[in-house]
Structure 1
Amino acid sequence: MPARLDHTIIHSTDRFASARFLTDLLGAPGPGALGPFATVPLANGVTVDYADEIVKPDRIVMQHLAFLVSEEEFDQIWERIKARGLPYWADPGHRDPQRINHRHHGRGVYVDDPDGHAIEFLTHSYEAE
């Protein structure tokens, strides 16, 4: 059996603030708590676990999380991004501000979480070409 991703840990300065940022954009219930983590469960059984006690704030290294969502979910997320006045980009390098992309037969958008981690929402997997 191929390996499946179970969880990933994202370092943050405030685990619950970062987890709520993600759940708010996803329109999901608030994060849970498990030991030193604020947990965000995803539809496929994977959890994104935010930790603020494992690493010092000046040692946080930017991560990139990409979430495959339906067209309807994308519309809702994009509306939440705009309603909050968040900066967003069509590209991971932040060269195309306040735009979404239409690559790979779908749509995509990038936002940064409170610690600068890149959060991508896309409607078509790059693998499904």
Structure 2
Amino acid sequence: MPARLDHTIVHSTDRFASARFLTGLLGEPGPGSFGPFATVRVANGVTIDFADSIVGRDRIVLQHLAFLVSEDEFDEIFARIGDRGLPYWGGPHHQEPQRINHRHHGRGVYVDDPDGHAIEFLTHPYVEEE
């Protein structure tokens, strides 16, 4: 069996605030809880597990999470970004402020979560499946 991602842990200053930020954009119910984690379940059973960092915000290593979504889901997510007045970018390093991109035959947008983790939503994968 090929390896499949089961979960990943993202450090945050407030695990439930970060998890609610993501579930809110995805239009999903609030996060779950498992041990010391606030959990967000995404496709294929994968969970994003947010953990309170013990080192403080200035020492959290920023991560990039990219979510492949349908065109309709992108429209819904992008509307939620606008409804919340969130800054967003067309590029991963805050290039193209308040714009989406049209790379890879699709659309993409980047937002930062409350701790500065880059959250990307895209409608077409960068690499085609074989």
> Is the structural similarity TM-score above 0.5?
yes
2:44 is paired with a residue whose SS is coil
For the 8 Å contact 1:36–1:53, the answer to whether it is kept is no
Which ranges in structure 2 are unaligned for 5 or more consecutive residues? none
Correspondence for 1:82? 82
How many angstroms does 1:54 deviate by? Answer: 4.8
Correspondence for 1:8? 8
- What is the TM-score of this pair, normalised by structure 1? 0.96
Correspondence for 1:95? 95
**Separation in 1 of the partners of 2:36 and 2:2?**
29
CA spacing shift, 1:8–1:24, aligned 2, 3 Å: same
**4+ residue runs over 4 A deviation:** none
| Matched positions, count | 129
Root-mean-square deviation (CA, aligned residues, Å) is 1.1
* Residue identity matched to 2:37: F
1:1-57 residue CA offsets vs partner (Å, 9 max, x unmatched)? 211100000000000000000000000010000000000000211000000055433
Task: Indicate the percent of aligned positions where both proteins have the same amino acid.
Answer: 79
**Separation in 2 of the partners of 1:10 and 1:55?**
13
2:109 is paired with a residue whose SS is strand
1:73-117 residue CA offsets vs partner (Å, 9 max, x unmatched)? 000000000110000000001121000000000000000000000
* Residue identity matched to 1:84: R
For the 8 Å contact 1:87–1:111, the answer to whether it is kept is yes
1:126 is paired with a residue whose SS is coil
1:99 is paired with a residue whose SS is coil
Which ranges in structure 1 are unaligned for 5 or more consecutive residues? none
